Amino acid sequence: MEKASDLTYRLIQPNEEVATVKFWSSMFECDYDEMYAEYATDLERLLHTYVAVTATGEIYSTASYCVRYIRDVNGDLQRTGCVWNVATKPQAQRQGLARRLMIIMVEAMIAEGCTWSLVFTSPDGYALYKKLGYTDVNAPFWSGPIITYQITDTAYTVRSYDPRIELDGWLCMSDIYHSYNLQRPLTTFRDTNYWISGYAHHRYMLWLAQQKVIFAAFPIGNEDVPVGYLAADFDEKFQIFEIGTMTGHEEALSLLMDSAVQTAVRKGYEYGHIWLPHNRESEKLIQPLFF
């Protein structure tokens, strides 16, 4: 096995892309096609992917990032480097390979104008990122038993929604997301392309293939264009992972939540998980249905 000092640390070359994605799919135990489809959402991926390789081109370690615009705590957009696909061969771990790639990559993100970066990590990678100066932040979610409460007095109606077949489905979801998160801290800016062909499109296509459910809210008497949506998972556990409404239709959120909860109850779930920040707005929304 090569020593860390004998490896070359550099940008990926175009002819190494297939081998790199195969490396990731093996390391993360993921389907190659799904891994490549997600990776391909970054049109500048060959300028954002670094590898540690031997003289013969064997991949020992990788690190990659994509650039997003994410709102800070004041709601202002910041150019952000989103780190992903950091992996090292098991027999080469704890030799500093990933650390060297990360140092190179942080410099690249700064040069590209990123004001900060983020990474989602397992416990195994925690020490590495801590040493590099990253601050740990717990993912914001609520969890608890479901209360069987049903909302009856509402100006909205809710039904399942599939943006793949609805008229202007992706554009409608894009409009709702943009309106709901216009100044919301720690949310990602998603332009129309992000929804039609970019990362949001990829993730939702994958979620829909996994039989996750999107609920959409419509004003009663005007059921052509949705004014809110909620995405939920009823697989291994019941969880709500994204919500949004158009400005002026915030009351539709309660009915969307109720529809998801009633579906969960019918499917036999007793507990739920909701990915929302811990604040008064979320508490007011969640309290009638959980805990």
Report the pLDDT value the prediction gives residue 138, as an integer from 0 to 100.
Answer: 72
Give me the residues paired with residue 271 across strands.
Answer: 145
CA 53 to chain centre: 29
What is the value of pTM for the model shown?
0.88
Query: What pLDDT is attached to residue 149?
Result: 67
What are the CA-CA distances from residue 14 to residues 11, 19, 81, 104, 290 (Å)?
A: 10, 10, 21, 19, 50
Domains 4-131 and 142-286 share a fold: yes
**Blockwise average pLDDT, block size 10, the chain, 291 residues:** 83 97 96 94 96 95 96 92 95 93 97 94 84 82 81 85 95 96 91 91 89 93 92 92 95 92 92 85 80 64
| CATH fold for the domain made of 142-286 | Aminopeptidase (3.40.630)
Q: So where are the chain's domains? A: 4-131, 142-286
pLDDT recorded at residue 285: 82
Nearby residues of 7 by Cβ (< 8 Å), 6 or more positions away? 52, 53, 54, 60, 61, 97
CA 107 to chain centre: 24
- State phi, psi for 2 to the nearest 5 degrees: -70, 150
Calpha distance 98→10 (Å, rounded): 12
φ and ψ of 284, to 5 deg = -65, -35
What span, in angstroms and rounded, lies between the C-alpha atoms of 174 and 191?
7
pLDDT of residue 29: 94
- Residue 105: both structure tokens together: 């990559």
For residue 291, what pLDDT is reported? 64
Architecture of domain 4-131: 3-Layer(aba) Sandwich (3.40)
pLDDT on residue 6: 87
Distance (Å, whole) CA 160 – CA 53: 48
